[in-house]
A and B are shown apart, each in its own frame.
Chain A
Amino acid sequence: MLNPSPHTQQWVEFDHILVKDRDKVILNIPHAILHLDQMTAVIGPNGAGKTTLLKLLHGLIAPDSGSLRFSDSALSKALVLHHTAMIKASARTNLALVRDTDSKISDADIEQALGRAGLQHLADTPAQKLSAGERQRLCLARALLQSPSLILLDEPTANLDPHATEQVEMMMQEYQQDALQVIFSSHQLAQVKRLAGQVVFIAEGQIQEIGKTAEFFLNPKTPAAERFLSQELVRT
């Protein structure tokens, strides 16, 4: 269950993508290719379209026009949203929801996922009573149970304390080591530098830059990225 396919040269191609909310353009990507061979961070100002991009990659939303093409059309994806409401039930039951999508998931798989998230001792605790960090780890464990090849995380450590952030980051790094492709959005540039090998900078609904993390921080190619980095770095 927890043995995804090894890293291969995967990519996704955006072709004339347009996503709108009524008349407002949320995403507009004429053309871009994103390679999925390393952990990727999606960064940009609030309202830039980061969450929409992740939802689009997952397939939760469809573009109003244009197409999205994966090198492997069967690439399985899981998405962990920024605000994931838990049902009023135990942590184990919240994890077991995914059984309805895959009957092959066994009790042992669920226990293994709980253990991996460090939540075995809280398995019978109502999910509402978990801390923010524990809930986030539960969400990550649930995403992993879906056996994805690509895992998309929307601000996975927002509102978490440093210890919980560290635990979530460790899980993300384990995923990447397990040959899962990880794409996450974040406002924490230090975290992006720590984790990501590649950065997608997005502003006003457009992908402005895709590049290696070190290069991007050292030498941003667009004025929008320069402005964003100077403001964000001053803040951090």
Chain B
Amino acid sequence: MFTAFQGAFALLAHQDQALLGIVWVSLQVSLAALLVGALLGLPLGAILAVEEFKGKKIVVVLLNTLMGVPTVIVGVLVYLLLSRSGPLGVLGWLFTVPGMIVAQILLTTPLIAALSRQILEDAWRSHRDSFMALRLPYRSTLKWLCWDCRFSLTIVILAGLARAISEVGAVMIVGGNIDHATRTMTTAIALETSKGDLPLAIALGMVLMGVVLLANLLTLMVRQIAERRYA
């Protein structure tokens, strides 16, 4: 075990190309999925927070369910969509980075939408009458509501990043874990551990933990700034 850790530190110290390639694919997939997930999820959450319509409760329950859906289920669904005989087979995205991004978008969007809806709905209850008394246009209402909740929404986005970067099921199924192409940190850790190549698995685990730790530190910083300024 000591040797495995020694090997892991050596890989990190020498900036092993295979390791860096895997980290790059992981960040590429997760950050792209996070960006699209935030662009879709935040407006969706905001609209659901301020709009009243028939069947809203069902939509909210559905969204909350999707937030916790197992990643392998999403993986299978996207696999079916992107497979040669599937409706999106013509795109040729199966076992590619874009395909993995699509899978992770399906994971990050509901999470960001569901959490932001809850936060924005609570804020909407406080601001509803005053925003309406000011006769703010609809888009301004959403804009200022999101601005008011910006610190909490930052935490939601970081939660989205954690969900994307740490998942293994969907990217394994959709990406196929192809070396130098679709291998991510999580799929590589699973593979290398099963092969007995512990140094690489441990090194990747350390990087992954580092990314998650960084996300959590950012969350903490954002919260502290918010508390200091607007307590």
Contact = CB atoms under 8 A, between A and B. Distances in A.
Nearest to A102: B135
A84 B150 CA distance: 19
A216 B135 CA distance: 35
B134 A142 contact: yes
B-side binding surface: helix, strand, loop or mixed? helix
B148 A87 contact: yes
**Chain A interface size, under 10 / 10 to 19 / 20 to 34 / 35 or more:** 20 to 34
B40 to A, nearest CB: 24
Interface residues of B, number: 22
Interface string B124-149: 00110110111111001001100111
A231 B99 CA distance: 73
A122 interface: no
A55 B133 CA distance: 8
A81 B130 contact: yes
Contacts of A79: 133
A85 B134 contact: no
B226 interface: yes
B54 to A, nearest CB: 17
B136 A101 contact: yes
B34 to A, nearest CB: 24
A101 B144 CA distance: 13
B53 interface: no
Interface of A: 55, 58, 60, 78-81, 84-85, 87-89, 97-98, 100-101, 126, 128-129, 142, 146
Interface of B: 126-127, 129-130, 132-137, 140, 143-144, 147-151, 226, 229-231
